[in-house]
Structure formats: C-alpha cells, structure tokens
Amino acid sequence: MILSDRRIRDAMAEGRIVIRPFRDDCLGTNSYDVHLGPYLATYRTPGLDARRANPVREFRIPPDGYVLVPGQLYLGVTEEYTETHGFVPFLEGKSSVGRLGIDIHSTAGKGDEGFCNYWTLEMSVKVPVRIYAGMPVGQLIYFEISGRVARSYGAKRSAKYRRVTPLPTPSKMYLNFPARRTKRRR
C-alpha cells in the first residue's frame, strides 16, 4: 500500500521518515517531490569495468545550468537527504522531466528500508537538455512493508552505499566480486 500525504506526515512526526530539507509545497497527495542537488559526476573513462572502482570527475552545476548530452551517463544527486524506517521508498522521475527526455535512474528506483542518505541519480538524456541545480527531478513514494524486517539496510554488512555524502556516488559493483588471490611464483 502506498502512503498518503497524511501518512507521510504522521511517519515524519514519528521519525520513521526524514526528509531534509522538507518543503510543505513539495508534499503531494501520495508522494514527495525531490530536487536535483548541486553536483554531477561523470566517469573519467569511456569504458567501465564492473570488477574495478571506476574513477569519476565531480563538478558543480553552474548557475546558468549545464547541458546533458545523449550517449553520456551522468551521476546526479538529490538535494534532499532522506531516511526511511519501516517503509520502502521508491524514487520515480517526474513526468515533466520525462517529457524533456531525461531519465533519472536506469535501474535503482527502489530504496531499502533503513536507507539513510542522499539519492544518487543515474541520469541520461534522449536529446541535449539544459538542467539546473534545485529543479524538481523526481518523487519519492513510500510503501508499507508486510511483516517485520530481519535486518535493516544500515545493519547489513553488504550495504555498499551507507557512507552519507551529498556528492553522487559511483558504482561499487566491484565490491561484489571476491578479492583476487595472486599466485606466488616459486
């Protein structure tokens, strides 16, 4: 079941949902609008390797905006820091953003119960589009969980995105691979 605006407010009063900064006019009937933070990142190399940490170049979006171009993956970040305890948050792009040909996430629209951080956005565009820090980009929708959670996201040893940062976080897929053992020469 999706939480209504009243249920979101109640959960915030109980500390089960945290949204900072919170703006009353961003609370919809059953969602909360989030905004593009001031930073973007791009990978430094055109080819990426899932077994390795791929370095990124981070930069601030200029006041007059920044043009995203097709064929380039951009990592953005939400302006809002969020915490979700006892619910599952989903991040969806706003229809107005989609109508500009902007995708704000490739696959990572679902958060985990216990996720406490800014949201990294995997942004791509169909045509060149100028974007601006602070523009509405998505909406958070909260779902109730059926049953008790055995282990919250923040308590999982395998949780790779726990370090709180207002900067876009690149892929940490490489942490899913066992460390390679080097053979000693005799």
What amino acid positions are annotated as catalytic residues?
122
Evaluate whether 85 touches 15 at the Cβ level (below 8 Å). Answer: yes
Evaluate whether 149 touches 112 at the Cβ level (below 8 Å). Answer: no
Q: Which residues make beta-bridge pairs with 58?
A: 41
Closest CA to 152 of 83, 78, 82, 105: 83
Closest CA to 8 of 36, 42, 41, 31: 31
Q: What's the length of the chain?
A: 186
Tokens of 77: 């970040």
Name the 3-class secondary structure at 73: coil
Closest CA to 38 of 14, 11, 62, 22: 62
